[in-house]
Structures are given as C-alpha cells and as structure tokens.
Amino acid sequence: MVQVDLDSGGRLRHFRGVPYALSEQPAGPALDVAAIFSAAGLEFSQFTPTALVRSPLGVVDQVQAWKGSHLVIPQTEIVVQVGSWKGQVTEVQIIWPWMIDGAVRGASWIQRTLEFTALGVAMFFTLMLARRNWKVGRVDRRGALRLAIVSAALVVAAWAGSMHPVLTSGMIGIVFEIVAQAMFFGAILWLIYLAIEPSVRARWPQSLVTWSRLLAGRWKDPQVWAHVLIGGAAGLVLFTAVTGLQLTRFAEEGVRPGLWDNYLLGVRPWFGEVSRLLVGSLQSGLLLFLVMCGLRALLRRDWVATLVASALFAAQSSAANTRTDWLITYVLYFVIFVAIIGLMLRLGLVVMIAMVYFFNCMNTLSIGTDWTAWYLSSGIATFSLFLSISVYGFWRALGNRTILNFPRDSES
C-alpha cells in the first residue's frame, strides 16, 4: 500500500508506504534525500538537520529531519521528516508550523467541557421547545419535513461525491451507515426548525416570507430570487472582507492550513462539494436563528441580542489570531457579524443561506493565470455556477417586468 499526497502544483506533501516483507525486500539504491526534496519542490542545500518534531506514522527503523525556510512564503519555517525501513523510504512528512506539536494549542479540557455542556443544554432546551410547539399545534410540520428530507439528501449526495466506491460486501454497511447519518442530521435540523419557527415568525415575520414561499414549492417566485441575489452579493462582499483579514495575517504569520480541496479531484467530487456546502449553509442559517432566539428570549431586545451574538462569534473567529493587533481584528469581525445578523433579521433566512453559500463557494474558486493547470476545470465549473445562479436569478427576479421599456409609436 502506498499513499501519496500532492499539492495543486504536483509537489510532494506526504508519502507513506508499507514496506515489503523481509523475504521480498528488493535490493535498491541508497536513500536519495535530495530526490525527495526535489519532488517536494524544495532546495536541499537550504535545509539543515534538526531534531524530530513529530512521531513517525508508519514502519521505520531510521528517521531523519531537516529544517529550513520556505522559498516563497515569508516567515514560514518548515520541517521535512523522512523515515525509512531497510533503506527503503516508507514515510515523508512536510511539516508546516501549524502542524508542529504545541505550535497551535488546542482547546483545553475546561474549554471543551464548557462547549459540550453548552451544546447539551442547547439541545435539551431545543427539544423541550419543539415538544411544546408540537403539543400546542404551532409548528410547520410540512415545512420541517421537507427541510429534513432535502438536508438528508444533500448529505448523501456530498458523501457520494467524496467516497471511492469498491464493489465489495463492505460497501453495503457503509451505505447503511451514511444513510443513518443523513437521517440523523435531517432529524436534528427538523427538530431545530420545529423549535425556532414559531418564535421567528412571531418576532421577525419578514424574515420568513421568502423562506415560506420556497418551502411551499414556489421556486420561481421573483422575491425569492431577489433575495438569492442579495445574499449572493453580500457573500461576495463578506468574502472580500474576510480574505483581506486573512491576507494581512498571512503576511505576518505565514501559511495556514487550506480547506476545500476535495472538489478539485473531478466532476463527481465537485458535485459532492457543492452539495456539502449547500447543506452547511442551511445548517448555518438555522443555527444562527437558534442563537438569536435564545439570546432574544434572555435579553428582551433585538439590538442587545445582536451585539452579544456578534461579540461571541467574533471571539470565536479571532480566537486563533496571534497578531499583536488582535483587538483590531476582533473589532472588524464584530462589525462583520453585526452586519450579517442585521441582514438576516431584516431580509430573512433565504438571504442568509445564499450569503453563506456564495462565501463558501468563493473559497473553492481556483482560477489563475495558468490556463493549462489541471485544476482549472473545477474553477471554471464553480465560476459557471455563480454565473448561472446570477443570470437565472436576475431573470426570475424581474417577474413580468422587462429590462428595457421602449415607448410605443404614437398613433397617427
């Protein structure tokens, strides 16, 4: 078995192999470390030997490590760790600063305990609130059921795009497992919707106008698509603001781990990633409304609940920031979340879902100046998705109106 991970430029980032049995051990050349560095796009002469920073992951009888600065990324020191067995390479690790033990401190047991406690309390009150709404007949059962079915279907679609099918009997168990996970996820969103829908409809009725039309099957409604366009534009603005913060942090602290690279692997993974991002957007919108409903019930004022929620989300978003101007970063995130929550309460859930979806999809847009790059097709597909949604949404948002109204010739 051999596992090889490459980046978008074809450079080696991780290698792991199971060595041959002793009786099948091939006679090969001596370990060529320079070739390994060349495959990783690194200059061996720029690195110096160092102590191991991570434990080996595979079978090794010798492990070596070298440390050096990245040739392009500023203030980024990486470690290359090579393990071998009987002279054959069995492991190569390209270790970035954020991967080194202790470089990024994980949550303490106190923080994890508080998080799990808060989650448990939130789920308990959500269950009790949903039960009460169900008993008094204040729930939208049909809308909740449709939401659960669509969410479960998207989870299965996301899995189908990311898995590698193998025609074995074990696939049957895997399919049953993912179906169970999808049903559980759909049940969670069903429960949250039953809990918050009556409160949201009573306190912010304008936020559910287009959402109710969407659940009723009115996909072509002009106002629905107008809200999709507004959310998409807000997502692009949000992406620009957050990217600006990340770029300034990148210039000072160096590289951070990347996300959302599965969609680059082909057509099926791309569709799976699109489905995953959509179900994540649904989840984000409902959870944000859940938080706002809880804070609104405790604080009795919309603006106070908005400020408190923004402060909490801003603290979470800037928690990993180690810059000296962390306060500025926190304030910027605070302003961003105030705008997000205000937009959600004013225009509704459809705008929120569209904003999160466009924001997340922008992170998968991989179009550069190299038109021969192997990942270009995925970037073009994502751009085409944006363009299709925008054009179709603009057309539907017009309703019975036309773009250009030419005056009729006066009758003679």
If you compute the radius of gyration of the chain from its CA atoms, what whole number of angstroms results?
26
- What is the tens place of the pLDDT at every residue in 115-161? 788 788 888 889 999 999 999 988 899 999 999 999 999 999 999 88
Round to whole Å and give the CA distance between 192 and 133.
Answer: 11
Let me know the angle formed at the C-alpha of 209 by 204 and 215, rounded to the nearest 5 degrees. 120
- Residues of the chain below pLDDT 70: 8, 21-30, 73-74, 100-111, 245-265, 318-325, 368, 403-412
Residue whose tokens read 């969609």: 263
**H helix and E strand count, the chain:** 11, 6
pTM of the model: 0.74
Q: How far is CA 33 from CA 7, 72, 366, in A?
A: 20, 21, 32
Q: How far is CA 230 from CA 60, 188, 226, in A?
A: 56, 28, 6
Which tens digit of pLDDT belongs to each residue from 354-408?
Answer: 999 999 888 777 776 777 777 778 888 888 998 999 999 999 998 877 766 655 5
